[in-house]
Structure 1
């Protein structure tokens, strides 16, 4: 019914648009220089100030006026504009910020609202409409390419899959995600893995997905230490501040505002590889039931025997091979193979046929209003997503209620929100895993038609790829599943008492409770070990609760006409509790019944609990001189329960300053309208995770003579463990030119993180496997820039451009004495002098001038016996460019972005090349010579004291390689040789440059005319078409793989730039409707 109603409303609008007529009702949209709507902007007729209107939350207004009337547009903090009504009844207006004392107000640390003029650090304010109704329910993905200094990467293209966010690089060896605060309450953002991303590949969601974008009033990103220091521990990686709608009433007679939003989108894989359809399964042109397409050529008219030899020529010209090459299929369904032979031909769509067209429905209803000093807001939303991968889906329901009221000097408010998300998926990633067929879908032989054959035998057991090498993806989609349900309840209470105009006290308290319930099922006959063959189920329950209490006293005395002071003193108490339980059952007794009681063996995997508490005392003093010079001092002391007692209390200060030099020196407006310089320095502390700074004991269930026993855990800790500290120097400038037509913002920062806590490995002889200590230091330096251009600003037509730049360089500067390097996250390394998380592995041997050293016996490169750095996963820089056009009632927004550099390891590309399935190595019927020089057979000591292969010299000269190799041998060779450029080759040939150019987002919107709005008895209506990820180009990956470097197997923790198989990225097209009553 919901879908039908949405469709009827959309159809009604479309048909009515065609017949609408012009009248004297003027409408349009009021925006700022960046194209952001200005809610409550005032519109009045100059000759009659009693006739006016106010823009709604989307900046849309309507007013009745006669031709020739002058309309006056204004808003607090913006200049006034006058426009004469002409023939058009659509007038869009851009207001320019005045740069006066009534500057923009920004939400900063502890929810404190401050003038942006007074800020000595960078804060990015994001308009929530930039992430609403863009065919993307994930808020983080909706922010990608729009905020300087913020790096957002997708995980997988599966429904509900989490994304990764970093602000100004990584500042901790334990991960670099920022602190998320919603209405003053920290918001846990866990990605809880119950299978390894490198071997299972579940596309798990994160806690951030519970937030309803329809309920967001403002988003502010505190990027530097000076901005975030008052939040204390957890703020070293920046803070993402989200304020939900407070229920502000719409101006006018009506005190109730109703908004309905609906959206429908379809999604497909953004780009499939271009496959070769010339050769089938086999090796070296011999037809076999192999996992790859290096076999004979299709259409040659041959019939082959079971060994791949030509049995006889086929007069009919239809190639055939013995059906026994797929023994499990031919034995289960012999009737499918007449005469025991199988057609040997290409199935061009054998990969695309395995995927579907996904869809996404979004519906939201919001009510807000109030009267006098009482405000309220209610938002109810639902998301229904069906993925392009079979049997994957995501459903989410949100409801939130909030409001506030003022009684004399007391203002109180509260909010309550509940979210329930249900995610259904499978073991989608992990290209080399046995339990997932999806990871190898792209490498199946070109003569295999998986979708055209049965997926299981008559007994219900699967018929897998290549007779047991890995799972049939269609069967696995329904039989190997991961079902996750998470519930989140967030409740807040806030109160403010204003004693007088100079002194008030604010209090904010809340609870954030989260519970995850997960069933992970692997059905009988799955590959990958005895447990999978018998079938098993893993049940997980993970509960987390966070309590927050913040008390702030604010004193703002006026010293004199030139000086003013703002002082704050506060207390902050945070407590986090978690409990995780996991149990596994193996061997299903009754087929098709998936619960623990239907298994013959149960294994209790553990019951872990933790509680931590952090108490902070903070203060801030801000001094203002004539509203053009500002200086701000901060300080905070934390007491934590997770560090050794002697180091559990720590203090960190901060200072920032800003100067509005155009006001200070009374610069006459013209070319330069506004100029600001700012600087900030701060230090932020960070405590340890529970168990990092104390001994942990585990209970043994067996016990002894009826008594429970406990044993020390495998990890030891440093008794002198100290907090991590991040100190940062930040310098910046903000400028406006030519009446606001050009605006620039530039920031440079130098951020150093010290005493970073991490666990290093220990020899088993110590009795422990790891040791938590202050491991080392990392430094991030970089630039952030934003430019806003108002290229055209006419009554009927506007063209605005916004460009952003993010450039960050990080370097590990120090590790503990005696430790040269260490691996983190499975693939990434830390080592002094190298980038954080660099990729390290085997490389081909090379001469001093970079030429490959070739083995004379086979013509393939030698592999250097010493692992080396082969890639830096940190991008060189990122650019985003948004063009916004407005013509009368139409608006068009186009976002392009680019990532330069950032290497990544990929098993998908390696497998596609190694299996010979793409057009990249279709030209294979000739031998090739690898460019290089012959080398000696035995490595010899080099200048670095390590053994290396060296060139073979004849008469003092290096000898060019002349030994030929087949294309098959170039990309696939026996395991252990390391001699190919793909499968079983050196690690470096699985690492590629991640440069990518992308059409990230396009939105075409129509603001329905006032005449139609009046007929429909609405306040406003907007119809829009949106597209996401419509095109991308990664020029440095193999051409025909069409691989998207944005895909990552890990979106939390320390690993980055690693893809071991996963759901490809998607592109979406959507239709969206926004109606206000």
Structure 2
């Protein structure tokens, strides 16, 4: 019933918007504007430059030869063509469109610039707006920056490129994504990842562990389905002030991804090939003392040799684009085969994308996109799993055990220590495949019925099927599965969203006004089927056995949003914007069905004032802008049915009945609500060679969802309620400089600094563990998930207390000892150009001041694989001391600060002679290194990894997590 009412309301809103925008169509035509874009200094062709017709929504991107064809369905008249690119200034060319449908602009030079205030960005309404008119900070990453990262996933490629973003590679599992935090964490039990939108389509970015591997893991994520080579640019809206028009789903910010589209002209074919090699970046120090406790010589083994390998990655991609003045197309295909550095793990993906644009009658433009991806992954258990984690097994195994030894009677590998199976057996006989099929489709229809007015309908559909299984053969040493076990999970999910947006731009004297109104509807449907079996039938790998269980569940959610925005500009220097969105969702309680999210912002280009040029500031600054914004956004309850009291079937002998769940429903449930204030400035110096962007923000989240204890007499344990509060405060600084800009040499530098302070302001009751079994806690007055652990017990003078045997005593209660959150993040990027053919660059980024709990080292010391046991063998400590030391958890909390050589690249554009030898118009070679080196005091594999992946409040825990590898890639791309 509720979904039906939502659809009726959507239909009424669509008719209302269409009626408001209805008008007599003016005579319009489809025009084609062609030309090239070159570097103003070296005159080399520039690829990836955005070319747009100001105020009309028509845009394209230059190809590798700097060529473009801009198609626009507009009335005849005078217009401005705007050329922009990240790291460069704006170029504007006047054009008159009349009788001739084809206009040639020739070569347009584009200079390097520290600020891009004229660049077009897409706001929460889906409407393009000049950056200078927006009162909040928006970060942009272009295709060239993504390609130069060498990352397999888009989210990983963003690391170090966005001020205010913490992007961490929490696992090296093939196909695994990164953890992305924009301006801190804004929830406790909800998600912390931003909302992802591709070409106007909200997409799923799940990284759920569907199979029960025993404990935690770092699974693949669905953003891995996207092909980075298809991406034109990425825009990041970092807070509520920027993302308010996305309403109750935008608490964590928004990442908008725009894919490549075709252009008018002859077909252009691009073929790329990359081959990469990955390896373990560093090794753990295992006990290698050559004598045992009796002083007898023994052989020691470094079991890392048996589970790690040098891995190969092969990537092939091809695209063709072109079209006529009325029709443009972009078609691409990609294949990737990625081996993991852990034996038995790999990831293969095949994807196809088609983007089409069609002009109809000079006033209507239709656009569509289709992306189909199929992938296969071979997973290995890693990260704490008690049923057979590869690293778990070797950290629990004494180093005098030869894992390669086999039982002479059965021929099977001998078991590792305790209840863990031999990791070599796991690699060779266990199976954990994951198959994914995904389709993402989009459709847009944009009508321009009157000059300055547009009406756009957008529809998106994202569906995928994910099947994951785990087979453990009979005879394995896995706990609880001596006769084998099998699991299989099938998830089918689809997400449908529809938008109707009307936009009208007009002038009124010195004022420029832009009015926007729209409606949005989103619907999600997910179904899971789970089956498991133990005591398996002989010679089968199916879920068949003496004991079987199965279950099925379904989830549905729907959201309806209505929004409006008014922007007023004065003399191209002062801009004020006000907006409001109203959301209703099926996850909200009946008493809180509608939620409002307002926004106001202002932007003032002081340097455009007449007095500026002759002022003291004018002599220092080329341009100066101040901006401020206030906005509200929300985060919906994570469960589809949290507002209901649920019942489960119960059977008593032959009678059946219902038993309610331990958690009561809440008819007053509503989304978490974030208020954000941000203010900052953008300035440029030295003839636009140096640019500074600074932002300060203050977030306060109320109505945090937390389980609130319930009165026991009701029969319920707790209820999910809006009772918590937390805050994030921080600053962002970005410096861009053009150090050298000469025809034969260029050098650009970008420095980014981010600082965030998170604080839990209010809880439903007392502090609680942020994750079961680990020494992290959520407590008022502290940041989320900080470390509370036993320390050395001390006397009043601070001396460590010892027991009668001379061993240290742990404190009676856990104490606050550190935080997994960094004091600040920073990155430094340098780009070099030699002549017009050779470019090079590198990126350093790091996090400073955070701690990591090294549970891996703790287990190694306790179970005879670590250095503390080696000290015992040397007679430096006693066995009792080592065992007592195990209880002092804080002694395994380490400084997790690091600096990484994240990226280094070298690109060479071959001359025309070599390109023509293979029939190509352009030929480029590249050498890219990623995660090449880490400077850190941390003793584990990598201070960046996290046992809990992208979990909201569980960070900085290292327990046998899949390490992030070092990768070097050699590539070639030919354009025809």
Q: Shorter chain as normaliser: what TM range?
A: 0.7 to 0.9
Match of 1:790? Answer: 738
Structure 1 gap segments, 5+ residues each: 1-26, 43-53, 63-72, 82-90, 287-295, 297-301, 303-318, 320-343, 929-965, 974-978
1:529 aligns with 2:428: no
Distance 1:1063 1:663 in 2: 53
1:1027-1066 equivalences in 2 (<5 Å): 1027-1035=929-937, 1037-1038=938-939, 1041=940, 1043-1066=942-965
Match of 1:178? Answer: 194
Structure 2 CA distance for partners of 1:154 and 1:196, relative to 1, 3 Å: farther
Is the contact made by 2:211 and 2:487 (CA closer than 8 Å) also made in structure 1?
no
Structure 2 CA distance for partners of 1:572 and 1:658, relative to 1, 3 Å: same
Structure number with larger C-alpha Rg: 1
1:113 aligns with 2:128: yes
1:810 aligns with 2:758: yes
Is the contact made by 1:148 and 1:805 (CA closer than 8 Å) also made in structure 2?
yes
Equivalent of residue 48 in structure 2, options 36, 39, 43: 39
Question: Secondary structure of the residue that 2:451 maps to in structure 1?
Answer: coil
Distance 1:693 1:657 in 2: 38
Distance 1:843 1:464 in 2: 35
Is the contact made by 2:945 and 2:958 (CA closer than 8 Å) also made in structure 1?
no
Which 10-residue stretch deviates more, 406-415 or 615-624?
406-415
Distance 1:1014 1:36 in 2: 18
Is the contact made by 2:801 and 2:808 (CA closer than 8 Å) also made in structure 1?
yes
Structure 2 CA distance for partners of 1:490 and 1:75, relative to 1, 3 Å: closer
Is the contact made by 1:805 and 1:878 (CA closer than 8 Å) also made in structure 2?
yes
CA deviations over 1:230-282 (Å, ceiling 9, x no partner): 11111010001011122234xxxx521111111110111111124453245x5
Question: Secondary structure of the residue that 2:687 maps to in structure 1?
Answer: helix
Equivalent of residue 673 in structure 1, options 606, 615, 622: 622
Is the contact made by 1:647 and 1:723 (CA closer than 8 Å) also made in structure 2?
no
Match of 1:514? Answer: 464
Match of 1:689? Answer: 638
TM-score, normalising length: structure 2: 0.86
Structure 2 CA distance for partners of 1:92 and 1:651, relative to 1, 3 Å: closer
Question: Secondary structure of the residue that 1:228 maps to in structure 2?
Answer: helix
Is the contact made by 1:517 and 1:540 (CA closer than 8 Å) also made in structure 2?
yes
1:296-307 equivalences in 2 (<5 Å): 296=295, 302=296
Structure 2 CA distance for partners of 1:852 and 1:1067, relative to 1, 3 Å: farther
**Following TM superposition, by how much is the alpha carbon of 1:995 offset from its aligned partner in structure 2, in angstroms?**
0.5
Is the contact made by 1:996 and 1:1032 (CA closer than 8 Å) also made in structure 2?
yes
Distance 1:29 1:196 in 2: 55
1:701-780 equivalences in 2 (<5 Å): 709-760=657-708, 767-780=715-728
Equivalent of residue 882 in structure 1, options 822, 825, 829: 829
Is the contact made by 1:274 and 1:919 (CA closer than 8 Å) also made in structure 2?
yes
Question: Secondary structure of the residue that 1:109 maps to in structure 2?
Answer: coil
Question: Secondary structure of the residue that 1:910 maps to in structure 2?
Answer: helix
Distance 1:209 1:460 in 2: 39
Distance 2:878 2:930 in 1: 38
1:951-962 equivalences in 2 (<5 Å): none
Match of 1:499? Answer: 449
Is the contact made by 1:39 and 1:55 (CA closer than 8 Å) also made in structure 2?
yes
Match of 1:553? Answer: 502
Distance 1:792 1:967 in 2: 62
Is the contact made by 1:96 and 1:739 (CA closer than 8 Å) also made in structure 2?
no
Question: Secondary structure of the residue that 1:385 maps to in structure 2?
Answer: strand
1:1026 aligns with 2:928: yes
Distance 2:90 2:631 in 1: 35
1:351-750 equivalences in 2 (<5 Å): 351-407=304-360, 408-430=362-384, 433-442=386-395, 444-451=397-404, 453-454=405-406, 458-459=409-410, 462-466=413-417, 468-530=418-480, 532-560=481-509, 562-591=510-539, 593-597=540-544, 599-604=545-550, 606-668=551-613, 671-691=620-640, 693-698=642-647, 700=649, 709-750=657-698
Distance 1:556 1:537 in 2: 61
**Following TM superposition, by how much is the alpha carbon of 1:129 offset from its aligned partner in structure 2, in angstroms?**
2.3
Question: Secondary structure of the residue that 2:961 maps to in structure 1?
Answer: coil
Distance 2:312 2:629 in 1: 47
Structure 2 CA distance for partners of 1:40 and 1:572, relative to 1, 3 Å: closer
Structure 2 CA distance for partners of 1:226 and 1:777, relative to 1, 3 Å: same
Match of 1:936? Answer: none
Is the contact made by 2:208 and 2:219 (CA closer than 8 Å) also made in structure 1?
yes
Is the contact made by 1:32 and 1:38 (CA closer than 8 Å) also made in structure 2?
no
How large is the Cα RMSD of the aligned pairs? 3.0
Match of 2:63? Answer: 57
Match of 2:842? Answer: 894
**Following TM superposition, by how much is the alpha carbon of 1:1047 offset from its aligned partner in structure 2, in angstroms?**
4.1
Match of 1:939? Answer: none
Match of 2:769? Answer: 823
Distance 1:711 1:275 in 2: 52
Question: Secondary structure of the residue that 1:680 maps to in structure 2?
Answer: strand
1:193 aligns with 2:209: yes
Is the contact made by 2:942 and 2:964 (CA closer than 8 Å) also made in structure 1?
no
Structure 2 CA distance for partners of 1:867 and 1:32, relative to 1, 3 Å: farther
Distance 2:843 2:148 in 1: 15
Distance 2:828 2:40 in 1: 19
CA deviations over 1:841-899 (Å, ceiling 9, x no partner): 322223456x3431241222221211222321111111110111111221111111111
**Following TM superposition, by how much is the alpha carbon of 1:389 offset from its aligned partner in structure 2, in angstroms?**
1.4
Distance 1:437 1:497 in 2: 57
**Following TM superposition, by how much is the alpha carbon of 1:186 offset from its aligned partner in structure 2, in angstroms?**
0.9
Question: Secondary structure of the residue that 1:474 maps to in structure 2?
Answer: helix
Structure 2 CA distance for partners of 1:571 and 1:438, relative to 1, 3 Å: same
**Following TM superposition, by how much is the alpha carbon of 1:840 offset from its aligned partner in structure 2, in angstroms?**
2.2
Structure 2 CA distance for partners of 1:502 and 1:417, relative to 1, 3 Å: same
**Following TM superposition, by how much is the alpha carbon of 1:1050 offset from its aligned partner in structure 2, in angstroms?**
2.6
Distance 2:50 2:242 in 1: 29
Equivalent of residue 1002 in structure 1, options 893, 904, 912: 904
Question: Secondary structure of the residue that 2:156 maps to in structure 1?
Answer: helix
Distance 1:92 1:424 in 2: 50
**Following TM superposition, by how much is the alpha carbon of 1:1027 offset from its aligned partner in structure 2, in angstroms?**
0.8
Count of aligned pairs? 894
CA deviations over 1:277-305 (Å, ceiling 9, x no partner): 3245x5xx23xxxxxxxxx4xxxxx5xxx
Match of 1:950? Answer: none
**Following TM superposition, by how much is the alpha carbon of 1:528 offset from its aligned partner in structure 2, in angstroms?**
4.5
Structure 2 CA distance for partners of 1:229 and 1:1032, relative to 1, 3 Å: same
Distance 2:168 2:50 in 1: 36
